[in-house]
């Protein structure tokens, strides 16, 4: 254990050295001596002693009492006075410096030792007490609750800043006053004065409170709703030495609670007033805990009939066997939300199609509180959706039939134009040749020369008409499509397109030996024709790449140009009926058409159609 360092302040050098020697014999460190007040202050700063033995009567401008006062204020050093005799006035001055002991000259060694030890212990305890007081003061000042401490008589001994703010009393003004004067509370509803919790804490010896609906009236009359409690303070022997009163402003909490109650009431009225949706709560076990008017209207149960029943009551027997009710709850528990569409059962046994949304409800700690379920009758919309779907299928079937009839009619007309007109024109050409021969034989008749000249010119006109007839027949239904297939028909169309427009085309095909049904080949070819027509009319392109392929059981046609690029507005505009027709042709065969345009970089048209429909076989 370190030796206590003691500073001896004595203006008689012989006595000072004697005391110093005695201190060393007693086991203390007494290396510093001072013979005046000024010298004592300097030695205290350099030697940093633990205790000062101070002669009351020192020579110089500072006597021992004044020196002790400065040492206590500046260095917090404990002092033991050395005195031979002193008058009452001197002793009163000495008391003000709070010395830890007095030693009368001549000094007895045992008395010296006991006085020093007691002084050192008392100083140690005082320092510890001051640290505790500082910690307590800092803590109470920093907390959000108001704190008032009283003694056993109920007089205020301490107030923290929050207590000053709420009561309107400064701690210096309130200290020593009765708590009942500083802290006044009334009942918020009856306005009756509430008995001080301090009296209850002193009387019962236990924590008193919390007071419900208490209102604190401050010094200036301001009223603040509070929660408060009082705890007795006990000494080492267990006896009550005072009371600690804590209280807090609950104005904000009450406003929040009021707002929450109003919000909950509005929500309750909203939910109960909804007629078109069944809205109810379910506990974690799947039992119904609340029921709104919409649920009663939709499912037929009154609130007293259904509360406590399991969710499975609303499911069909088949869904219950499949454990669907619990599966939905488990999904909502894990994912936070579950949505389902299916049949639900009313009280009277009738069924309806429902859209159901289940939401898991959890508290701040993540514990599952239950579920909220919203059920909507979608029988009407589902029926309308089915009718619309059926109507679309009928329209597609009709469109497919019309397309088929049109292709058949075009084929028939093309054949008749080619065969009938072609044969008639060929016969006419032969007749003209015979007529020219006859004119040649009658060449000696001068009047027939003009007719012969006209007869020679007419075969050229007939040839032009024959070419026009063939072109018309080809455009109505290209024979190459029926005779050689889709790949050859596309090559023929590309050649004709380049010849008419001057736009360069690149064509690649990997169809190999795959043969398509007539309806598929016709649909793809017509889509290709419409694509080329759109390129000429709108794309302003100089190059077109065409790719024909078969992959994954689907026929793929891709046409890419380097034109201005189609926009979303172009695709949905009033002039996009041709594009709509392309899509409809593909959809009739369970296929699709995609059109992607990039401004300034061209447009890509993709066609994908199954090579065969279910039940059909592929021909190779």
CB 94 within 8 A of CB 56: yes
Query: Could you give the CA distance from residue 288 to residue 277 in angstroms, rounded to a whole number?
Result: 16
Q: Residue 287 pLDDT > 90, yes or no?
A: yes
Question: N- to C-terminal Cα distance for the chain?
Answer: 108
In a 3-state reduction of DSSP, which class is residue 254?
A: helix
Q: Helices in 278-421 by DSSP H: which ranges?
A: 293-299, 303-306, 317-321, 324-335, 379-416
Q: Residue 129 pLDDT > 50, yes or no?
A: yes
Residue 619: the pLDDT is 46
What's the whole-number average pLDDT of the chain? 82
Highest mean pLDDT among 57-61, 194-198, 217-221, 399-403: 217-221
Query: Could you give the CA distance from residue 407 to residue 435 in angstroms, rounded to a whole number?
Result: 41
15-32: average pLDDT: 87
Question: Which tokens hold the place of 248?
Answer: 């807090």
Q: Taking CA 169 as the corner, what is the angle to CA 168 and CA 172, rounded to the nearest 5 degrees?
A: 155
Give the confidence band of 453 by pLDDT, cuts at 50, 70, 90. low
Q: Taking CA 359 as the corner, what is the angle to CA 353 and CA 360, rounded to the nearest 5 degrees?
A: 140
H or E element, residue 554: strand 554-561
Residue 334: the pLDDT is 92
CB 188 within 8 A of CB 215: yes
320-330: average pLDDT: 93
CB 516 within 8 A of CB 555: yes
Query: Could you give the CA distance from residue 35 to residue 54 in angstroms, rounded to a whole number?
Result: 10
Residue 521 neighbours by CB distance under 10 Å: 19
Give the confidence band of 444 by pLDDT, cuts at 50, 70, 90. low
Q: What tens digit of pLDDT does each residue of 289-316 get?
A: 988 888 888 899 998 999 999 999 999 9
Question: Which tokens hold the place of 582?
Answer: 């392309």
State percent of the chain over pLDDT 90.
21
Q: Which residues of 252-278 are buried (b: 16+ CB within 10 A; e: fewer)?
A: eeeeeeeeeeeeeeeeeeebeebeebb
CA–CA distances in Å: residue 273 to residues 164, 288, 297, 308: 50, 19, 11, 22
Give the confidence band of 213 by pLDDT, cuts at 50, 70, 90. confident
Q: Describe the crossing of helices 109-142 and 13-25 by its angle, rounded to 10 degrees.
A: 80
Residue 620: the pLDDT is 42
Q: What tens digit of pLDDT does each residue of 527-537 get?
A: 888 888 888 88
Closest CA to 82 of 95, 101, 63, 109: 101
Which of 26-40, 291-305, 396-410 is least confident? 396-410
Question: Which tokens hold the place of 433?
Answer: 């040749």
Q: What is the 3-state secondary structure (H, E, C) of 74-108?
A: HHCCCEEEEECCCCHHHHHHHHHCCCCEEEECCCC
Q: What is the DSSP letter of 606?
A: E
pTM beyond 0.75? no
CB 97 within 8 A of CB 69: yes
Which of 147-161, 230-244, 284-298, 492-506 is least confident? 230-244
Query: Could you give the CA distance from residue 605 to residue 565 in angstroms, rounded to a whole number?
Result: 11
H or E element, residue 53: strand 51-55
Q: DSSP per residue over 369-405, as a string? A: EEEEEEEEE-HHHHHHHHHHHHHHHHHHHHHHHHHHH
Contacts of 450 (CB under 8 A, 6+ apart): none
Q: Residue 339 pLDDT > 80, yes or no?
A: yes
CB 197 within 8 A of CB 211: yes
Which of 29-38, 84-93, 245-254, 551-560 is least confident? 84-93
H or E element, residue 568: helix 568-572
Q: What tens digit of pLDDT does each residue of 94-109 get?
A: 888 888 888 888 888 8
Query: Could you give the CA distance from residue 240 to residue 262 in angstroms, rounded to a whole number?
Result: 46
Question: Which tokens hold the place of 470?
Answer: 């063939």
In which residue are the tokens 């609130």 written?
303
Contacts of 84 (CB under 8 A, 6+ apart): 57, 104, 105
Give the length of the chain.
Answer: 620
State percent of the chain over pLDDT 70.
81
Highest mean pLDDT among 1-15, 117-131, 365-379: 365-379
């Amino acid at each position: 254990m370190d030796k206590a360092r003691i500073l001896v302040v004595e203006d008689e050098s012989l006595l000072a050295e004697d005391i110093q020697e005695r201190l060393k014999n007693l086991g203390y460190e007494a290396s510093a001596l001072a013979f005046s007040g000024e010298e004592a202050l300097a030695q205290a700063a350099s030697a940093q002693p633990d205790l000062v033995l101070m002669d009351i009567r020192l020579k110089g401008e500072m006597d021992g009492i004044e020196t002790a006062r400065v040492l206590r204020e500046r260095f917090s050093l404990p002092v033991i006075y050395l005195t031979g005799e002193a008058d009452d006035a001197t002793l009163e001055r000495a008391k003000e410096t709070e010395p830890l002991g007095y030693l009368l000259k001549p000094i007895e060694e045992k008395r010296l030792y006991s006085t020093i030890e007691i002084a050192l212990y008392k100083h140690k305890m005082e320092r510890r007490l001051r640290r505790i007081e500082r910690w307590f003061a800092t803590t109470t000042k920093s907390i959000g609750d108001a704190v008032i401490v009283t003694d056993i008589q109920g007089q205020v001994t301490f107030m923290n800043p929050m207590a000053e703010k709420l009561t309107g009393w400064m701690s210096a003004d309130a200290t020593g006053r009765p708590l009942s004067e500083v802290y006044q509370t009334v009942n918020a509803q009856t306005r009756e004065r509430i008995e001080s919790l301090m009296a209850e804490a002193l009387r019962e010896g236990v924590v008193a409170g919390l007071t419900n609906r208490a209102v604190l009236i401050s010094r200036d009359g301001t009223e603040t709703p509070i929660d408060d409690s009082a705890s007795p303070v006990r000494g080492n022997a267990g006896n009550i030495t005072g009371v600690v009163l804590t209280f807090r402003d609950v104005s904000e909490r009450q406003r929040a609670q009021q707002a929450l109650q109003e919000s909950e009431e509005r929500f309750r009225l909203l939910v109960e007033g909804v007629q078109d949706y069944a809205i109810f709560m379910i506990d974690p076990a799947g039992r119904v805990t609340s029921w709104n008017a919409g649920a009663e209207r939709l499912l037929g149960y009154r609130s007293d009939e259904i509360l406590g029943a399991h969710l499975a009551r609303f499911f069909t027997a088949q869904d219950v066997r499949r454990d669907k009710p619990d599966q939905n709850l488990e999904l909502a528990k894990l994912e936070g939300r579950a949505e389902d569409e299916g049949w639900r059962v009313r009280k009277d046994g009738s069924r309806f199609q429902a859209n159901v949304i289940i939401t898991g409800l959890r508290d701040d700690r993540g514990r599952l509180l239950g579920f909220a379920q919203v059920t909507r009758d979608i029988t009407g919309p589902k029926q309308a959706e089915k009718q619309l779907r059926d109507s679309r299928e009928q329209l597609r079937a009709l469109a497919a039939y019309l397309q088929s009839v049109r292709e058949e009619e075009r084929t028939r007309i093309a054949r008749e134009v080619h065969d009938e007109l072609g044969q008639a024109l060929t016969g006419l050409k032969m007749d003209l040749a015979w007529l020219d021969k006859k004119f040649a034989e009658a060449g000696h008749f001068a009047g027939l020369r003009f007719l012969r000249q006209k007869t020679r010119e007419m075969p050229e006109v007939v040839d032009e008409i024959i070419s026009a007839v063939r072109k018309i027949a080809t455009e109505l239904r290209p024979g190459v499509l029926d005779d050689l297939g889709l790949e050859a028909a596309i090559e023929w169309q590309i050649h004709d397109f380049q010849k008419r427009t001057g736009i360069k085309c690149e064509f690649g095909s990997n169809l190999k030996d795959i043969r398509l049904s007539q309806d598929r080949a016709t649909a793809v070819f017509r889509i290709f024709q419409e694509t080329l027509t759109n390129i000429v009319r709108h794309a302003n392109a100089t190059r077109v790449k065409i790719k024909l392929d078969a992959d994954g059981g689907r026929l793929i046609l891709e046409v890419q140009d380097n034109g201005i690029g189609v926009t979303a507005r172009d695709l949905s505009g009033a002039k996009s009926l041709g594009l709509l027709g392309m899509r409809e042709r593909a959809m009739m065969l369970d296929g699709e058409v995609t059109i992607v345009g990039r401004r300034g970089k061209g447009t890509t048209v993709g066609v994908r159609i199954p090579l065969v429909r279910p039940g059909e076989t592929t021909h190779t």
